[in-house]
């Protein structure tokens, strides 16, 4: 059965809204977001597998500022 994994794309406009960045960090139930040293929102790669697809981050942002792409890979390789 193929395993699902995701990538999260953060639009440049998000970085200009520090309040939104902070909200995204605090609302994600599985700690996928963090603020980098240069105050940019980034994902924590090793936590991406934990995403529950709850859509809280998408609902908190607007105009596709956060995009979650579902990808599949075969475990048989």
Binding of residue 4 to ligand SF4 (CB under 6 A): no
In 1-77, DSSP assigns E strands to: 3-10, 33-35, 41-43, 66-73
2/29 with CB nearer ligand SF4: 29
**To the nearest whole angstrom, how small is the minimum distance from the Cβ of residue 11 to ligand SF4?**
14
Residues between 5 and 64 that touch ligand SF4 (CB under 6 A): 28-30, 32, 51-57
70/73 with CB nearer ligand SF4: 70
Backbone angles phi, psi at 45, to 5 degrees: -50, -45
């Amino acid at each position: 059965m193929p395993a699902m994994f995701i990538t999260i794309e953060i639009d440049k406009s998000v970085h200009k809204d520090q309040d939104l960045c902070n909200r995204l960090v605090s609302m994600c139930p599985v700690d996928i977001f963090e603020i980098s040293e240069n105050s940019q929102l980034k994902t924590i790669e090793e936590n991406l597998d934990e995403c529950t697809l709850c859509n809280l981050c998408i609902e908190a942002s607007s105009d596709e500022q956060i995009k979650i792409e579902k990808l599949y890979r075969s475990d048989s390789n």
